A and B are shown apart, each in its own frame.
Chain A
Amino acid sequence: MPNLTPRSALAPFLHAGHHGAEGKSGVTLCEVTSCALAELTAFKGQKNALASAIVTAFGVSLPSANKTASKDRVTFVSVGPGKWLVTGEGQAERDLVTQLEKAAGSLAAVVDQSDARALVEISGDKARLALAKGVMVDLDPVAFKTGDAAVSFAVQFWITLWQTSDTPIYRLAVFRSMGRDLLHWLESSAAEFGCEISR
């Protein structure tokens, strides 16, 4: 029986190292590979019950529209009415799904999406300017802060975007097969600021 080696969404396309303008690193970019993703959708009329179940199981309140909520390694990102993208830092995909299924029972649908998205993390003092070359959402700290999230259309992709730190650090998820073009766009957009890409 052969063993199958997993490969991350961007592995074939991501070239670690310095890109763009020499001598500066305004933007840092990496693929987030150690993070399980699942979609949680409340069944009809179960939103409140689900919220309590999640508080009990995860110790966190499900975030309202355009917000995220985190506890320990798990982050809930609001992506629509009664719908959340859940990330489990350093978790095996199945563990996250199992945990969620256990917590939600018959209150919500849980779908593993760990492999359905390319997930990147963008940081650096020029990250906002680079992102502004495609993202229509106002990312200025007065409008978008740590814990804020947006589902939007950027460049040519549907994106889920959320901020994880004030420094700032953003996470951006797109459909897996769009990852290559996302990366290409980000690299081009960040090039004038100098871009550090790591795996």
Chain B
Amino acid sequence: MQEMIESGLLIVVAVLSVILLLIGQRPSSGMTKRQKIMLGRILTATVLLLALQTLGSSVFDQLGAAGRWVRLALYLVDYLIIGYDILRKAFKGIRNGQVFDENFLMAVATIGALALAVYENGDYLESIAVMLFYQVGEWFQSYAVGRSRRNISDLMDIRPDYANIERDGKLEQVDPDEVEIGSIIVVQPGEKVPIDGVVTEGVSTLNTAALTGESLPRDAKAGDEIISGCVNMTGVLKIKTTKEFGESTVSKILDLVENASSRKSKSEDFISRFAKIYTPAVCYAALALAVLPPLVRMFALGLDAGWETWIYRALTFLVASCPCALVISIPLSFFAGIGGASKAGVLVKGSNYLETLSQTKVVVFDKTGTLTQGVFEVNGIHHSEMENAKLVEYAALAESASSHPISKSLQKAYGKEIDRSRVSDIQEISGNGVIAKVDGHTVAAGNDKLMARIGVDYINCHSVGTIIHMAIDGKYAGHIVISDVVKPTSKQAIQALKAAGVQKTVMLTGDAKRVADQVAQDLGVDQVYSQLLPADKVEKVEALLKDKPEKAKLAFVGDGINDAPVLGRADIGIAMGAMGSDAAIEAADVVLMDDDPMKISTAIKISRKCLRIVYQNIVVAIGVKLICLVLVALGFANMWLAVFADVGVMILAVLNAIRALFVKNL
């Protein structure tokens, strides 16, 4: 019975390797040359082994005394065909002082088994089969890992291969690296936009899915800024480039994604440290298993030593102990997780951040541009001492130098070209407002703190919004109400975070208390701190960091434009709406490619799934290993089982790791 199973297994291996060799002939299979050679070796060794087994030892016995050695020689040839590289690597390892690795384990185990077989003139099959199945496992591992690595890389590859330049009325394809700033490039329907620029001609819709995970197309027309990495869908666009290829969005993102898996997580560090201790430990354990029990039996119990049994067990123990499944599947899981996240429009800068993200229990938001649109509109003008339009004009002029969203909305309300020459002596007071000279009048525009600072009585406003108090020549001139619009998905996003297990949500804002409280209540945010200066935000985050338990991590979400210090201070910084904002990509650890706050909970869920898979792999791989080792030590398992346990766990772990790539239904 046992013999039939063994022969059956060998036939399966032979047939499989023929099929795989045929598949390998096609270029699309992605098999490397080394993998094909290995397949050939596996096939040859299997067929030879099958032939030798079918002949049986009786045939060789007929040759007389020499028969035993002929048989041994043939088996040895087979052993070398399948295992010579392992032996060579093990030997090199010993010479280089790196004794304990899996090659060493396999070499010692199989040579040991072979030696036992020679001594008994018994079954050579086992040691060769163990080497054979180990190689089969290694082959599958290298093929599966290579395959999935390529798949994930392809998925993240948004690299444009060429740019079209018009020369003498003809389109010419050039390397995007060679296109200079200010050149006109042509992007045809179906092509990727290779370089950031401004549309000069043409109307089209763009698919930004590769960048944002957002399937809704965007429109583009002459005058619009356009970022690289989008796919042009309908019309031909002519684009004047504003950046070099290396500085374009697509290159930045690629750079980020490619470097992501270089930042190692604690789990990965743990595994590489574990592997360094594990292998020597197992070797010593095997040595102990081979020597101690027979000695105890001999001297303490007065029994027969049974050296063969215990040496065999020790060798099996070595085979069973290979840490491959663990070492390969953990980085692969993280890589797949990062790949899956980038498919959903979430760029994670490293496995370590994915790990932190999964432990997030406190999420701190910046209000403006994160939970709200950051698009302010003038909604009311109260208590004005002059014409409303005139007040807005003064406000717009005074704030003309600021890039704050509020000044933009004032300029929008003013509606005319700003004549900068009318403004002088601009003095920005951070967190308060602006004092400037406009047409010879001293205009102060800002919040109540500014009014208090310059000693002007102001009238409080009942409307919710940002209130710009105005004082002209030291006299109160009324106030302008500007309010921000909450993003449509913000409320849902907060709920989704709660559902995902986030314990506390906090909102920080420089805005007035009333506005902030109102928004916080509408959205269901737990805590709100308002009227903060940029420096206060850092302080608040530090206080929150101190408050929370050690294990819970704090994430800060901002728009990345003025939040850089806070993004850096939090356990993990998440920047939103990073399309085109270099500062955000630089400062944050996680970048959400579009403005949707829902993506925060998506990112957390992706990280949780990935980490769950990592832990499953660690537990299953180590668990099965330990069980096997115990079974082997007690003599319940033979070398066959040990190899199958090793290869089986490895394949399961790799398949499980690939699961991290699928993030659709989270």
Are A and B physically bound partners? no
Interface, chain A (partner B; CB < 8 A): none
* B contacts, CB < 8 Å to A: none
